[in-house]
Amino acid sequence: MDDRFLEELRREPDPGFGRALRERLRGIEDEATVKHSRLVPALASAAGVALVALAFTIPAVRVAAQNALDLFRVRTFAAVQIDESRVDQLKKLHDQMGDDPAMSVFDQQEVLQKPAPPIDYPSVDLAGSAAGLPGLRRPGEALPGGLKFVKATVDGEGAARLTVRTEKLRKVVELLGLSDVRIPDQLDGQQITVHKPAIVAQQYENGKASLTLVEARSPEVTMPVGTDLRQLGEIGLRVLGLDADEARRVAASIDWKSTLIVPVPATAESFRQVEVNGNKGLLIRCEDTKPNGDRRRSGALLLWTEGDRVLAMQSTLPGEDIVDVAQKLR
């Protein structure tokens, strides 16, 4: 008996046990997510990095005279690089704010439409029909690496109304050490409504690589008319870590009624604007690392819009490949 003998008696867990446990953990994951206010994923799920920034940068500007509300819809994306220290600060802030990160900025949350739980469908057409999204885009030819369709998942639409509290916002800004940032008093008590549309995610895999194509109508955020959106956008950019001059310059160059700010961590390999069938998109390339710091694999995320639809493609394929796949969608 020696070391080798003792080590060789190790054994892989039974595959059935491994799968069952993984499924059970996923169930725990889902429960935890539900507890954390899944209703407003556009706000709550982003809280890890940029909840506060979102609250500032997403509001609308177009005057919708019929209901006296400004309406925001995603038409284009703008990337803003965010450094690790600010990511850490925002994460800590999020942790301090308790169970529901949305409540770090808002008071009250009124559920207007409770989203149905995600449902898997065996075909893209069935999923599109269930989501009320006819004509879903799909790969026009064989995918690289022999990726095959696995399933299409529909995440139901939902809506919530939230009330802004400037006191909370000021605390957030203070905790980030942004002593020169001023929060407008008139923002207090304003209500914003977040409408998350039904989302379809098509999943393709080949055992090693994966690709997810997501499509939805633009999420909408409405808020009362009269707010200085450029000023709010500038504050949001400060929260993301831009200095005062840079935030002012960028805020002045953005169309705040249709541009979604995408904070890109400094650890991302690269990001650049690309064109997808005549539409401007944003390509972000990332790399994953093992616990020992070695590279494990690379991945890419492509965001673009087509008409009233917002699309995203996320894959472990190289960035150039997913742009190519996106160009060939039918």
Question: Binders of another protein among 212-271, rule CB under 8 A?
Answer: 212, 214, 219, 260, 262-265, 267-269
Helix or strand run (H / E) with residue 173: helix 166-175
Cβ proximity to another protein: between 130 and 225 the closer is: 130
| DSSP β-bridge partners for residue 210 | 205
* Dist. CA 80–CA 247, nearest whole Å: 10
What is the closest distance, in whole angstroms, from the C-beta atom of residue 185 to another protein in the complex?
A: 27
- Please say whether the beta carbons of 213 and 161 come within 8 A: no
Per CB under 8 A, the list member of 134, 207, 278, 291 interacting with another protein is: 291
| 15 scored as a contact of another protein (CB under 8 A) | yes
What is the closest distance, in whole angstroms, from the C-beta atom of residue 76 to another protein in the complex?
A: 12
- Please say whether the beta carbons of 200 and 153 come within 8 A: yes
* Residue 3, both tokens: 């070391």
Cβ proximity to another protein: between 57 and 222 the closer is: 57
Residue 135-154 contact track with another protein, rule CB under 8 A, x = bound: ------------------x-
Helix (H, G, I), strand (E, B) or coil at 105: coil
Cβ proximity to another protein: between 76 and 225 the closer is: 76
With helix as H, strand as E and coil as C, how does 232-250 read?
A: HHHHHHHHCCCCHHHHHHH
- Please say whether the beta carbons of 240 and 181 come within 8 A: no
Footprint of another protein on 60-79 (CB under 8 A): 74
* Residue 260, both tokens: 């979604």
| 2 scored as a contact of another protein (CB under 8 A) | yes
| DSSP β-bridge partners for residue 153 | 120, 201
Cβ proximity to another protein: between 167 and 255 the closer is: 255
Footprint of another protein on 156-195 (CB under 8 A): none
Q: How far is CA 164 from CA 157, 223, 264, 319, 328, in A?
A: 23, 10, 26, 38, 43
Cβ proximity to another protein: between 18 and 189 the closer is: 18
* Dist. CA 187–CA 240, nearest whole Å: 20
| 308 scored as a contact of another protein (CB under 8 A) | no
Residue indicated by tokens 């409408």? 195
| 111 scored as a contact of another protein (CB under 8 A) | no
Nearest to 116 by CA among 66, 154, 168, 63: 154
| 87 scored as a contact of another protein (CB under 8 A) | yes
Nearest to 317 by CA among 168, 212, 188: 212
What is the closest distance, in whole angstroms, from the C-beta atom of residue 24 to another protein in the complex?
A: 7
Q: Which stretch binds another protein (CB under 8 A): 112-120, 170-178, 244-252, 319-327?
A: 112-120
Per CB under 8 A, the list member of 109, 258, 314, 315 interacting with another protein is: 314
Per CB under 8 A, the list member of 1, 65, 141, 180 interacting with another protein is: 1
| 296 scored as a contact of another protein (CB under 8 A) | yes
* Dist. CA 243–CA 220, nearest whole Å: 29
| 286 scored as a contact of another protein (CB under 8 A) | yes
* Dist. CA 316–CA 286, nearest whole Å: 9
What is the closest distance, in whole angstroms, from the C-beta atom of residue 257 to another protein in the complex?
A: 17
Q: Is the dihedral of CA 112, 151, 212, 291 positive or negative?
A: positive
Cβ proximity to another protein: between 156 and 225 the closer is: 156
Cβ proximity to another protein: between 29 and 110 the closer is: 29
Provide the pairing of β-strand 191-196 with 158-164: antiparallel
| 54 scored as a contact of another protein (CB under 8 A) | yes
| 12 scored as a contact of another protein (CB under 8 A) | yes
Residue 18-47 contact track with another protein, rule CB under 8 A, x = bound: x--xx-xx--xxx-xx----x--xxx-xx-
